[in-house]
Chain A
């Protein structure tokens, strides 16, 4: 609910794009100052032991929240905070600390880039430099950036949108948020298909059943509900059993099992057919914020705000592995990689880490986004030309950021491939999909919008050199767009054809010729 509940007055005005400021400083060569400041931020961060901003921010939401459920639960969390001796951050000082932290940290990806290349040039030059130097001869050069463009902006949600997902065939998009409604959109046209209403409180999570017939949603009213996309009716059985907000849900690949993580610190495995709890995993001692099931259904991963990430055996219900960073930052979201070998974990120290769970080791740390308040959620995706075989295949991780951007990282180089701007507030959930051969990304955020982004053939775009990643000035659309201008921005539920309005999407540098 937190992440679905935009709280403007909590947003620090200084929380602008951190990469912008820091990289400029880096370019100016103020290395010493930067290091100094970075160290300061880290010692500060060390001073405050891992916090649970989820809970503290809930104190603020109390007055705004219209539902009674939130109030008594706040009571619960306040008391639980009391008995938890370790965590005593002052919610007033925290934002400034976090801001320092994010600034100090945000240049790490750039450091990484220069470090791995031995290229000490500024980041602004970096793009052009890298594009000019190919990688190993047998491999075709990797694309240095992605070129996603905004296609539709879907308005209609009355409050922040916390979850969005493509249907399994990507023909539809489901989104849900703090207004307790589930909206289903047509991917091709961006039009609203249906609104499901029935939850009594905000929705934090949704999942499409693997066969595409059902949408499951988990809500702050402690229930999980199913909605049938074909009949446009709600399922008669309500999945009732959690004692607190349902935070995240995921389907097993066959659709017979649904896994849910909740604020009541439990992970439930539900028998979808009977709408009953099949097994409860004695999971965590803190709210379970993230959950995912591996592609073959044999493993479940869960993460909690105590920073623990646990891997479970679906069949036996036993914990097989626990992953944790030493200063356990609250973990808010976990996702298995497409081949199930790795786990991507979002933590509130502004990092997304890719773990090899077999070795209990962090393989990659992705930074550059702002994440210290919301449970952001993202996705893996593939990129690059389809007719070229790369080894390993080109794969990105994508996540929203609390500064309103969407960031794509290459999972090998950790380099930021693209930064999409457009959302006016934190981007809470991003999901990737492919429809008719077009790679797409859908995002939703606290600004009440759902946005669809489509990968555009790079040769169509005009060149726009220095702007990539940091440009916040609107750029006029200079390429032909395949949007369907069928609908004017007249109604509440209308999609907006972005070709009509100045887009804020940044154009990446255009000096790589793709095959």
Chain B
């Protein structure tokens, strides 16, 4: 409702510029916004998952179940379910309505990344450390795991021709070396995009778990794949220090307009720092997909490129530590990133100055002095009653105070039943950033060694005094 009043120049600004907030609750290592963008889930080193309320910057819920560092977080579309994966070889699906665990799935290896199907929260894909990626169906209590292929799709030999056994053996040996590092669903979930350690991108059909297309993108390991909100643009971070944006065909047309053989992935941009040869820790698209953001290795900066020309538009600065995971808010120009050293979550957004004309109705903001022209009747004195009556007589419109403007298609338009996270009145977030103290500019020290590795359930809460003092400083800073 506020859009009609907000300064259009502020609205037109598409990327953030100022470090505005620092959230901390333990040592966060990964972040994820829900689709609506009002909650931010953060996974901690100690296996706790903390969900922040973006509106209050307070902790909305804590989930305890993992015993080691959280690797990835994935929200269901309605924001009710959260899938977490951890180095403790487990994935947990949480119901945020009451904070309960719906499913716990064990694997034979630590989990790199697990992602929920975009429409079915009981189906997810997980890429495992030095193991085959799996598609896991948890619709029943006993999870059904299906192993996904890692080997690239080789062109089929034409009929009738003999395949040279030596070549075949060599290929098989090569294929065996492929391992999948990252798997994500496409926008509709019909396909899975997998990135391998040899720099290949495989497109796997979810239904059949067979590879329908493969393409060699680079020489390095594919570290991360991200899909833009339009579902067609793919962002690839690989170990060759290049970030690529890849344009994909509309895979939902597969079998209708598009043959699997006709799939072509087209590299649009390659973002890299040729001077410093920086490598990139983590990458993300902006909410609209127009910008690409990356955190840099051994460097506290966040780079923002725009995609139309492929140029660097902004370097976000602020914290003095190297940053890990970076996420872009799903609708606002807001970037969050977590510090590798302190585990704090930094927030960049746009700070709009107070418009002074908003404070008094008869003020206007002008660029330069304006010659004031007095209206002919400006200082005519009318009887107050007459003025009042005239005013009343002019009130002849037919206002509609009930009907909502739903033209924008906010949230529920796509048929998702809205879920609202319950407001927990007894949540304590006092075990926050206090275990890391700044001892000088840019240097931090861990106050209690071994802290942040608490038991599964026994969350050692600090005394409430911590929380109060932190709260007052926060409110004072505003």
For window 284-343 of A, CB contacts with B under 8 Å fall at: 294-299, 310-311, 313-324, 337-342
Q: Are B399 and A411 neighbours in the complex by a CB distance under 8 Å?
A: yes
Counting chain A CB atoms within 10 Å of each CB, the highest count among B397, B400, B421, B427 belongs to B400
Chain B interface, DSSP helix/strand/loop, else mixed: loop
Please give me the residue from chain A that is nearest to B402 by CB atom.
A393
B402 surroundings in chain A (CB, below 8 A): 337-339, 380, 382, 392-393, 395
A–B complex contacts, Cβ < 8 Å, 14 sampled: A112-B392, A256-B55, A272-B425, A273-B56, A273-B423, A273-B425, A339-B404, A341-B1, A341-B399, A341-B401, A392-B398, A392-B402, A395-B401, A412-B399
Interface string of B201-219 (1 = CB under 8 A from A): 0000000000000000000
Minimum CB–CB distance for B403 against chain A, Å: 6
- Are A278 and B475 also in contact (CB < 8 A) when A38-B385, A111-B392, A254-B420 are? yes
Q: Which of A272, A280, A297, A412 contacts B423 (CB 8 A)?
A: A272
- Decide yes or no whether A229 CB sits under 8 A from chain B: no
Q: Are A255 and B354 neighbours in the complex by a CB distance under 8 Å?
A: no
For window 248-288 of A, CB contacts with B under 8 Å fall at: 252, 254-257, 271-274, 276-280
Q: Are B391 and A42 neighbours in the complex by a CB distance under 8 Å?
A: no
- Decide yes or no whether B373 CB sits under 8 A from chain A: no
- Decide yes or no whether A346 CB sits under 8 A from chain B: no
A416 to B360, CA, bound (A): 33
Q: Are B399 and A363 neighbours in the complex by a CB distance under 8 Å?
A: yes
B404 surroundings in chain A (CB, below 8 A): 339-340
Identify the 6 closest CB pairs spanning chains A and B, nearest first. Answer: A392-B400, A337-B401, A320-B5, A298-B2, A271-B56, A340-B1
A257 to B404, CA, bound (A): 23
Minimum CB–CB distance for B40 against chain A, Å: 13
- Decide yes or no whether B230 CB sits under 8 A from chain A: no
A311 to B352, CA, bound (A): 16
For window 348-392 of B, CB contacts with A under 8 Å fall at: 351-352, 354-355, 358-361, 383-385, 388-389, 391-392
Q: Which of A43, A310, A412 contacts B398 (CB 8 A)?
A: A412
A477 to B389, CA, bound (A): 40
Q: Which of A116, A214, A322 contacts B425 (CB 8 A)?
A: A214
A272 surroundings in chain B (CB, below 8 A): 56, 423, 425
Q: Are A319 and B358 neighbours in the complex by a CB distance under 8 Å?
A: yes
Q: A45-B384, A322-B358, A395-B400 are in contact. List 18 more A-B contacts (CB 8 A).
A: A42-B385, A112-B392, A116-B396, A211-B420, A272-B425, A273-B53, A273-B56, A276-B475, A314-B55, A321-B361, A322-B361, A339-B401, A340-B1, A354-B401, A357-B5, A391-B400, A395-B402, A414-B395
Minimum CB–CB distance for B56 against chain A, Å: 4
Please give me the residue from chain A that is nearest to B430 by CB atom.
A274
Q: Are B423 and A255 neighbours in the complex by a CB distance under 8 Å?
A: yes
A45 to B388, CA, bound (A): 13
B360 surroundings in chain A (CB, below 8 A): 322
A341 surroundings in chain B (CB, below 8 A): 1, 399-401
B410 surroundings in chain A (CB, below 8 A): 296
Q: Are A43 and B384 neighbours in the complex by a CB distance under 8 Å?
A: yes
A357 surroundings in chain B (CB, below 8 A): 5
- Decide yes or no whether A436 CB sits under 8 A from chain B: no
A395 to B358, CA, bound (A): 30
Q: Which of A111, A235, A392 contacts B389 (CB 8 A)?
A: A111
- Are A256 and B56 also in contact (CB < 8 A) when A273-B424, A358-B5 are? yes
B359 surroundings in chain A (CB, below 8 A): 310, 319, 322
**Residues of A bordering B, CB below 8 Å:** 35, 38-39, 42-43, 45-46, 108, 111-112, 115-116, 209, 211, 214, 226, 235, 237, 252, 254-257, 271-274, 276-280, 294-299, 310-311, 313-324, 337-342, 354, 356-358, 360, 362-365, 380, 382, 391-393, 395, 411-412, 414
- Decide yes or no whether B59 CB sits under 8 A from chain A: yes
B358 surroundings in chain A (CB, below 8 A): 318-322
Q: Are A295 and B1 neighbours in the complex by a CB distance under 8 Å?
A: yes
Q: Which of B56, B59, B384, B399 contacts A42 (CB 8 A)?
A: B384
Q: Are A354 and B471 neighbours in the complex by a CB distance under 8 Å?
A: no
Minimum CB–CB distance for B322 against chain A, Å: 29
- Residues of B in contact, count (CB < 8 Å): 54
- Decide yes or no whether B478 CB sits under 8 A from chain A: yes
- Decide yes or no whether B318 CB sits under 8 A from chain A: no
A341 to B401, CA, bound (A): 7
A112 surroundings in chain B (CB, below 8 A): 392-393, 395
- Decide yes or no whether B429 CB sits under 8 A from chain A: yes
- Decide yes or no whether B319 CB sits under 8 A from chain A: no
Minimum CB–CB distance for B351 against chain A, Å: 8
A235 to B38, CA, bound (A): 25
Q: Are A365 and B391 neighbours in the complex by a CB distance under 8 Å?
A: yes
Minimum CB–CB distance for B55 against chain A, Å: 6
A391 to B401, CA, bound (A): 11
A277 to B474, CA, bound (A): 10
A35 to B351, CA, bound (A): 54
- Decide yes or no whether B405 CB sits under 8 A from chain A: yes
Counting chain B CB atoms within 10 Å of each CB, the highest count among A294, A320, A357 belongs to A320
Minimum CB–CB distance for B25 against chain A, Å: 12
Q: Are A279 and B475 neighbours in the complex by a CB distance under 8 Å?
A: yes
Minimum CB–CB distance for B401 against chain A, Å: 4
A297 surroundings in chain B (CB, below 8 A): 55
For window 420-475 of B, CB contacts with A under 8 Å fall at: 420-425, 427, 429, 467-468, 471, 475
Counting chain B CB atoms within 10 Å of each CB, the highest count among A257, A276, A315, A324 belongs to A276
- Decide yes or no whether B128 CB sits under 8 A from chain A: no
- Decide yes or no whether B114 CB sits under 8 A from chain A: no
Q: Are B423 and A211 neighbours in the complex by a CB distance under 8 Å?
A: yes
Please give me the residue from chain A that is nearest to B399 by CB atom.
A363
Q: Are B471 and A365 neighbours in the complex by a CB distance under 8 Å?
A: no
- Decide yes or no whether B6 CB sits under 8 A from chain A: yes
B355 surroundings in chain A (CB, below 8 A): 318, 320
For window 1-15 of B, CB contacts with A under 8 Å fall at: 1-2, 4-6
Q: Which of A254, A316, A320 contacts B38 (CB 8 A)?
A: A254
